[in-house]
Amino acid sequence: SCTVDPEKAEIIELGGKWDLNSKLSLTAALFRNERSNYRVASNDPTIPVAQLDGAARVDGLALGATGQITADWSIFANYTYLNSKVIQGADDVFAAQGRDFVKGDDLLQVPDHAFSLFTTYELRQWNVQVGYGVTYQGESYLTQHAQITNSNPPARTTIPLVKSDDYWVHRATIAWMPTQDVEIRLNVNNLLDKTYYTRLRNNGWATPGDKRSATLTANYRF
């Protein structure tokens, strides 16, 4: 039978929503996410198993805007700021001995800043809609500090930590509605053909983001 405590997460959030008019809403939220009892490696070679002693904290701010600025101009946007920190990254024994060498580091793959926007505008005199979107992903850490194995007593490394690059990805759309029931739309993703990577790992592996692509569709409603 399993006798260990489960991993825990506690979230505290304070937020609000403002309806500037019947069609445009703004949101804002402050939050804290505290995680405990997650797996960390045991530093004791006689106990080659993970220990459920980890603890981490993420403080954040989320802002959003959704709706219509004017009768012809619509927007969907959000921004997130995250401040992450390892509270305990080693087992209890080594943490008590001052040998928790990742304590105070940022969490891996948690960007400080993230932003997305999509907006459209109706050119009603031509039955045309144009739109633009952008996504921003900020830098994030791929490594944390570790123990210098040849030092006595053991010490924390001072090697600069490795970060991922931040990136912007743009997209665009244009649609023509020759009649009320017909729509012809062109979507272009990664408009500037930006090279970027997702799902990065600290061993050098990563997944390239999608290259520029275009899709032309025709829709008929009946």
List residues bridging with 135 in a β-sheet. Answer: 116, 169
Distances in whole angstroms, Cα of residue 127 to Cα of each of 17, 146, 149, 153: 33, 60, 68, 73
Q: What is the pTM of this model?
A: 0.88
In this prediction, residue 48 carries a pLDDT of: 59
Contact of 166 with 138, CB cutoff 8 Å: yes
Two tokens, residue 14: 């304070």
> Which among 140, 30, 145 has a CA at the least distance from the CA of 86?
145
**Mean pLDDT, the chain cut into blocks of 10 residues (222 residues total):** 74 95 94 92 66 93 97 97 95 86 93 98 97 97 84 82 94 96 97 90 82 96 88
| CA 91 from centre of chain | 28
In this prediction, residue 83 carries a pLDDT of: 97
Instruction: Output phi, psi for 126, to 5 deg.
Output: -115, 5
In this prediction, residue 66 carries a pLDDT of: 97
First to last CA, the chain: 60
In this prediction, residue 43 carries a pLDDT of: 65
Segments of 106-198 assigned E as strands: 113-123, 128-137, 147-148, 155-156, 167-179, 182-189, 197-198
